[in-house]
Amino acid sequence: MPGSIFGQIFRISTWGGESHGKGVGVVVDGCPAGLKLAERDIQLELNKRRPGQNKYSSPRKENDKVEILSGVFEGVTTGTPPISMMVMNKDQRSRDYSNIADVYRPGHADYTFDSKYGMRDYRGGGRSSARETIGRVAAGGAIAKKILDEFGISILGYTRKVGPVEVDMNTFDASVINENLLRMPNMDKAEEAGRYVDDIIKEGNSIGGLIECEVTGVPAGLGETVFDKMDANLAKGVMSIGAIKSVEIGAGVHVADRKGFDNNDFARYEDGVLIKETNNAGGIAGGMTDGSPIIVRAAVKPTASIHITQPSVNRQKENIDIMIEGRHDPVIVPRAVTILEAMTALVIVDAMLMNMTARMDYMKKVYE
């Protein structure tokens, strides 16, 4: 399927992203009836990803105001009209893109768009633009997370590393994540990373990072066993975020160095409760959740647009040097955390809905 739809039962169709189009939006099909939902629920989540908030993100004033166009009646989802949500673009002044219309910017998808479609909407990045993620956040970050909340499932995303500055997970402090611009779970590291990014800004360069997401309260047994494994669907959802170049579950790349005895998680019952001493599996075995926290990690590449002259080519097949105008984010890592949470929420809600159909006794609970 051609790509703008995600999910099997809880399905979202995002649209827009051309920064000078009329707006961006998302249509959510398959949201169960009976969920309380208001525009402010969506708005709160969208505000988290909004740029222009601080020195690390570009100072466009995107006063993103979401509207729910259908699917909610008297504050509750109705089940049938899909929930359609939209953010109109305020700022449609006709910027001049003629200088980039013909060039292929390093690290951008300009050349691949042209190769695929024989043409390209060069205004502001098109479907690869960060604005496309508004739909993901409205659907996943807001609605899907609200459903999970009803079942005591919560998702916590954070920045684990910015360039060389990494948080030691033994010093993890959830309470400070929203206290620092880089969304790191350790205040000292956040400050150190902040100073590092200041230097990057002075260079006109950009820097990558590592983001992580922990999901707690997940019942055991979610996810399918062959192709639609929980980890496989998480991998797809997370890798579909622009700028992500790796997805890891639990111990991730580190299992390559491990021996079986060290990597196996040992379970014990303590006072009748199943406890895993370690969580190298990241909460997933055989594609299904095991009841311990799901751990997903992803590497975010440094922003492609930088204030340094770079060699490249143009549509006329000439070699050129290019300096990209405008201000750009030196680090998109903290904003990617919001999208990571949104995609994770979408995958888990979808798996919960699918899993309802897995057993005859569940059918009997619903129909008898």
**Within positions 3 to 62, which residues make up the interface with its own copies, using CB under 8 A?**
3-6, 8-9, 11, 13-18, 21-25, 27, 29-30, 32-35
Cβ nearer to its own copies, comparing 93 with 175? 93
The residue length of the chain stands at: 368
What SS3 state is found at 121? coil
Residues 242-281 touching its own copies, rule: CB under 8 A, are 242, 245-269, 272, 274, 280-281
Q: For the beta carbon of residue 79, count every other beta carbon within 10 angstroms.
A: 15
Contact call for residues 216 and 249 (beta carbons, < 8 A): no
Q: Quote the tokens at residue 25.
A: 């939006």
Q: Which one among 44, 76, 169, 323 touches its own copies, defined by CB under 8 A?
A: 76
Q: Candidates 46-54, 56-64, 91-99, 121-129 — which segment interacts with its own copies by CB under 8 A?
A: 121-129
Binding mask 346-365 for its own copies (x = CB under 8 A): ------xxxxxxxxxxxxxx
Cβ atoms within 10 A of the Cβ of 343, count? Answer: 29
- The verdict on 78 binding its own copies (CB under 8 A) reads yes
Exposed, middle or buried, 311 (CB in 10 Å: 0-12/13-18/19+)?
Answer: exposed
Q: Which of 130, 193, 234, 337 binds its own copies (CB under 8 A)?
A: 234
Greatest distance between any 2 Cα atoms in the chain:
72
43, 58, 154, 205: residue in contact with its own copies (rule CB under 8 A): 205
Q: Which amino acid is at 318?
A: E
- Class of residue 255 by CB neighbours under 10 A (exposed 0-12, middle 13-18, buried 19+): middle
Region from 51-59, 71-79, 173-181, 187-195 binding its own copies, contact rule CB under 8 A? 71-79
Place of tokens 């969506």: 42
| Residue 75 lies near its own copies (rule: CB under 8 A) | no
Interactions with its own copies, residue window 282-311 (CB under 8 A): 282, 284-291, 299-306, 308, 310-311
Enumerate residues 133-162 that contact its own copies by CB under 8 A: 147, 150-151, 161
Are 159 and 183 in contact by the 8 Å Cβ rule? The answer is yes
Stretch that binds its own copies, among 44-52, 57-65, 137-145, 215-223 (CB under 8 A): 215-223
List the x/- string, 183-202, binding to its own copies by CB under 8 A: -----------------x--
| Residue 105: other Cβ atoms inside 10 A | 17
What pairs with residue 313 in β-bridges? 104, 319
Q: Which stretch binds its own copies (CB under 8 A): 42-50, 53-61, 107-115, 181-189?
A: 107-115
Based on CB atoms, which residue is closest to its own copies, 45 or 110?
110
Residues 306-345 that bind its own copies (CB under 8 A): 306, 308, 310-313, 317-319
Shortest distance in whole angstroms from residue 179 CB to its own copies: 22
Single-letter residue type at 360: M
89 residue type, one letter: N
Beta carbons within 8 Å of 229's beta carbon, 6+ residues apart: 223, 284, 286, 287, 288
Instruction: Tell the smallest beta-carbon distance from residue 173 to its own copies (Å).
Output: 21
Q: Count CB atoms within 10 A of the CB of residue 350.
A: 25
The residue (of 87 and 175) whose beta carbon lies closer to its own copies is 87
